[in-house]
């Protein structure tokens, strides 16, 4: 590091005020400094900057705390208040210098790296996901709203659609001839100042704009989406309009019995009970689509390791994750090292050109590489099958074995330049005299390489190989952009395929298209990755003695 650092330092085009040639710039202009003070005074500029910055932080904090107070999230409020106090304490007390420098970074680190890991651990023990998003009360009111049907003998409420600040409102004239207004978020209330037309239908309200028929047609989706509660009690029903001119009462056919904790379908008489799994289930096992979030203990882990739909694929995915990471590192290292040795000749013409061309794949954004290769390798229309191989039909990305090879080749394309650069650097820093001494002793070129150069090289490159392994273990972009994990396994209905690695599986379980979102299972899988990575890094720490550098 130091040699490169030094040359880089000299070559930096804008290295601050220092002259290009001078190694050490003069310390900044001496300021008005009383020589007696040893710690140095806080200049008024510094104090001012501190006051302004801290003031800004506190202003934001007050806003957040108020919002939390209004939202009645007491636990979060307490934590946020503590953090605010801690920040002020760190920056206002004299001394404690390290904390002043570390606080900003550590704050982000704690929230978005440490806390989210702990939070993942919590989610892994819940059934969080599609259909289990909120509390039980939310679930009940959502069921009551979603199961609404038009009341057969509902009177017509003549309607106008109003707009204010981008939101839409229903202005209705109820059967008694009174004007009322409401929207999805706020229940129907009297609209005293409404202007009525000759038939007695309310058509305008001061402060709102009435939509023309044309506008209603253009904003059809928003208008149809208006569900105006008649009162605070969800059982009272809602008003909805289908054409923008008449609204009707919709009422749920479900009735919630608080005492018995059951939902009853008034049409069929079916009774749904709390199953203890975060769902309402009827006698014959029929489950309502909306459930709520509960803690499920180790269920997600048990599912991952015992569910026949998941167990087999998960095992193959884990094996492939290791294979992919190890083979990728070895291939890239082998090619990179070979190239480094090949071009480690100062008298080779065109060396610089080769070098620049070979760095290109590495400079190309990684997510694009996967997509571009996916086009190249496309079995039906891809350039390789169609143009290079003259119209053959080789399933580069659709055959399980070929897809794995393709992924490895593409990752080799992406990764060998890095290893080439690293190995070139390492080779050049090897002492020359060892080489010469071995030659004098009559060792062959291969012997010199395998017994002397490689071991010496590995000492400096091994830590990089390990971090490269850790990187490839979670190399989401290549897999997801190239094959999206496919081709899919045939022995499971889940979206898992032959080239899926653990991290793509996590992403697909949580945010996959078509399959329901299962945050709980995804987090459980993420925790499994955590444990594997932790084990690997613990071993590698011992091996590379990285600990010794820290003192």
Site for another protein in 346-375 (CB under 8 A): 348-350, 354, 356-369, 371-375
The span of 214-222, 432-440, 448-456, 473-481 binding another protein (CB under 8 A) equals: 473-481
Q: Tell me how far, at minimum, the Cβ of 313 lies from another protein, in Å.
A: 20
> What does residue 168 show for φ and ψ, rounded to 5 degrees?
-110, 145
Of residues 206 and 381, the one with the C-beta less far from another protein:
381
> What does residue 257 show for φ and ψ, rounded to 5 degrees?
-105, 110
Of residues 271 and 384, the one with the C-beta less far from another protein:
384
Site for another protein in 161-200 (CB under 8 A): none
- Which residues have CB under 8 Å from 492's CB, separation 6+? 309, 310, 312, 313
DSSP code string of 147-183:
TEEE-TTPPPEEEEEEEETTEEEEEEE-TTS-EEEE-
Q: Tell me how far, at minimum, the Cβ of 346 lies from another protein, in Å.
A: 12
Quick check: 33 binds another protein (CB under 8 A)?
A: yes
Helix (H) or strand (E) holding 189: strand 189-190
Q: State how far the Cα of 90 lies from the Cα of 80, in Å rounded to an integer.
A: 15
Q: How many residues bind another protein (CB under 8 A)?
A: 131
Query: One symbol per residue from 493 to 512: x for binding another protein (CB under 8 A), - otherwise; what is it?
Result: ----------x--xx--xx-
- Which residues have CB under 8 Å from 430's CB, separation 6+? 453, 456, 457
Quick check: 14 binds another protein (CB under 8 A)?
A: yes
- Which residues have CB under 8 Å from 453's CB, separation 6+? 427, 430, 435
Q: Which residue matches tokens 């001061």? A: 206
Quick check: 223 binds another protein (CB under 8 A)?
A: no
Of residues 160 and 397, the one with the C-beta less far from another protein:
397
Helix (H) or strand (E) holding 256: strand 254-257
Q: Tell me how far, at minimum, the Cβ of 96 lies from another protein, in Å.
A: 9
Quick check: 382 binds another protein (CB under 8 A)?
A: yes
Judge whether 180 and 160 are in contact, CB under 8 Å.
Answer: no
Q: Which residue matches tokens 């012997």? A: 447
Among the listed residues 79, 102, 217, 319, the single contact to another protein using CB under 8 A: 102
Q: Residue 307 has what DSSP assignment?
A: -
DSSP lists the bridge partners of residue 257 as 262
Of residues 44 and 269, the one with the C-beta less far from another protein:
44
Quick check: 259 binds another protein (CB under 8 A)?
A: no
Site for another protein in 329-348 (CB under 8 A): 338-339, 342-343, 345, 348
Among the listed residues 53, 225, 383, 454, the single contact to another protein using CB under 8 A: 383
Among the listed residues 471, 487, 492, 515, the single contact to another protein using CB under 8 A: 471
Q: State how far the Cα of 36 lies from the Cα of 25, in Å rounded to an integer.
A: 25
Of residues 312 and 361, the one with the C-beta less far from another protein:
361
Quick check: 68 binds another protein (CB under 8 A)?
A: yes
Q: Tell me how far, at minimum, the Cβ of 144 lies from another protein, in Å.
A: 22
Quick check: 75 binds another protein (CB under 8 A)?
A: no
Among the listed residues 51, 82, 85, 117, the single contact to another protein using CB under 8 A: 117
Of residues 229 and 370, the one with the C-beta less far from another protein:
370
Q: Of 344, 378, 317, which is closest to residue 509 (Cα–Cα)?
A: 317
Residue 118, token pair as written in the block: 């702990």
Quick check: 417 binds another protein (CB under 8 A)?
A: yes
SS3 2: helix
Cα diameter, the chain: 113
Among the listed residues 35, 259, 401, 440, the single contact to another protein using CB under 8 A: 35
Q: State how far the Cα of 198 lies from the Cα of 217, in Å rounded to an integer.
A: 24
Site for another protein in 438-467 (CB under 8 A): 463-464, 467
Residue 381, token pair as written in the block: 């229309």
Q: Which residue matches tokens 């004239």? A: 173
Site for another protein in 128-147 (CB under 8 A): 128
Among the listed residues 55, 104, 200, 225, the single contact to another protein using CB under 8 A: 104
Q: Of 473, 531, 477, which is closest to residue 304 (Cα–Cα)?
A: 531
Q: Tell me how far, at minimum, the Cβ of 2 lies from another protein, in Å.
A: 6
The span of 4-12, 230-238, 299-307, 447-455 binding another protein (CB under 8 A) equals: 4-12
Q: State how far the Cα of 496 lies from the Cα of 498, in Å rounded to an integer.
A: 7
Quick check: 21 binds another protein (CB under 8 A)?
A: no
The span of 198-206, 236-244, 312-320, 521-529 binding another protein (CB under 8 A) equals: 521-529
Quick check: 106 binds another protein (CB under 8 A)?
A: yes
Q: State how far the Cα of 392 lies from the Cα of 374, in Å rounded to an integer.
A: 17
Quick check: 413 binds another protein (CB under 8 A)?
A: yes
- Which residues have CB under 8 Å from 144's CB, separation 6+? 234, 235, 252, 254, 256
Of residues 188 and 525, the one with the C-beta less far from another protein:
525
Judge whether 502 and 470 are in contact, CB under 8 Å.
Answer: no
The span of 16-24, 202-210, 298-306, 309-317 binding another protein (CB under 8 A) equals: 16-24
Site for another protein in 278-297 (CB under 8 A): none
């Amino acid at each position: 590091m130091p040699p490169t650092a030094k040359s880089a330092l000299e070559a930096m085009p804008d290295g601050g005020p220092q002259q290009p040639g001078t190694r050490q710039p003069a310390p900044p202009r001496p300021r008005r400094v009383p020589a007696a003070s040893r710690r140095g005074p806080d200049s008024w500029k510094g104090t001012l900057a501190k006051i302004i910055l801290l003031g800004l932080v506190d202003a934001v904090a007050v806003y957040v705390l108020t919002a939390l107070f209004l939202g009645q999230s007491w636990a979060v409020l307490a934590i946020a208040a503590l953090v605010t106090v801690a920040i002020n304490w760190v920056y206002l007390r004299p001394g404690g210098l390290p904390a002043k420098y570390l606080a900003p970074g550590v704050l982000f680190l704690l929230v978005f790296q440490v806390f989210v890991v702990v939070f993942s651990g919590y989610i892994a023990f819940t059934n969080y996901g599609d259909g289990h998003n909120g509390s039980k009360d939310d679930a009940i009111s959502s069921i009551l709203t979603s199961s609404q049907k038009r009341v057969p003998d509902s009177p017509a409420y003549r309607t106008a659609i109003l707009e204010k600040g981008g939101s839409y409102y229903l202005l209705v004239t109820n059967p008694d001839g009174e004007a009322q207004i409401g929207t999805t978020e706020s229940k129907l209330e009297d609209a005293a100042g409404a202007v009525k037309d000759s038939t007695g239908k309310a058509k305008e309200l001061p402060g709102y704009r009435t939509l023309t028929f044309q506008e209603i047609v253009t904003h059809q989706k928003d208008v149809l989406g208006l569900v105006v509660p008649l009162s605070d009690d969800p059982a009272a029903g809602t008003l909805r309009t289908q054409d923008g001119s008449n609204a009707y009462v919709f009422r749920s056919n479900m009735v919630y019995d608080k005492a018995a904790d059951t939902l009853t379908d008034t049409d069929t008489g079916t009774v749904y009970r709390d199953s203890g799994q975060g769902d309402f289930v009827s006698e014959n096992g029929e489950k309502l689509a909306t459930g709520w979030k509960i803690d499920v203990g180790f269920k997600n882990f048990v599912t991952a390791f015992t569910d026949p739909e998941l167990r087999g694929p998960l095992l193959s995915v884990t094996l492939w994750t290791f294979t992919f990471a190890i083979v990728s590192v070895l291939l890239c290292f082998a090619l990179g090292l070979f190239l480094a040795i090949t071009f480690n000749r100062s008298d080779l013409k065109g060396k610089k050109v080769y070098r620049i061309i070979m760095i290109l794949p590495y400079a190309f954004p990684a997510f694009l590489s996967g997509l571009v290769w996916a086009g190249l390798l496309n079995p039906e229309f891809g350039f390789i099958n169609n143009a290079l191989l003259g119209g053959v039909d080789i399933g580069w990305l659709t055959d399980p074995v070929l897809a794995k090879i393709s992924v490895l080749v593409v990752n080799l394309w992406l990764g060998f330049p890095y290893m080439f650069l690293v190995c070139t650097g390492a080779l050049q820093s090897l002492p020359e005299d060892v080489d010469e001494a071995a030659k004098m002793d009559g060792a062959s070129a291969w012997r010199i390489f395998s017994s002397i150069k490689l071991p010496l090289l590995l000492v400096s490159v091994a830590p990089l190989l390990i971090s490269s392994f850790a990187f490839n273990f979670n190399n989401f972009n290549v897999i997801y952009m190239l094959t999206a994990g496919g081709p899919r396994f045939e022995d499971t209905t889940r979206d898992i395929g032959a080239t899926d690695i653990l991290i793509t599986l996590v992403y697909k379980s949580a945010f996959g298209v078509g399959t329901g979102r299962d945050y709980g299972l995804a987090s459980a899988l993420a925790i499994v990755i955590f444990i594997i990575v932790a084990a690997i890094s613990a071993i590698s720490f011992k091996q590379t003695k990285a600990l010794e550098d820290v003192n």
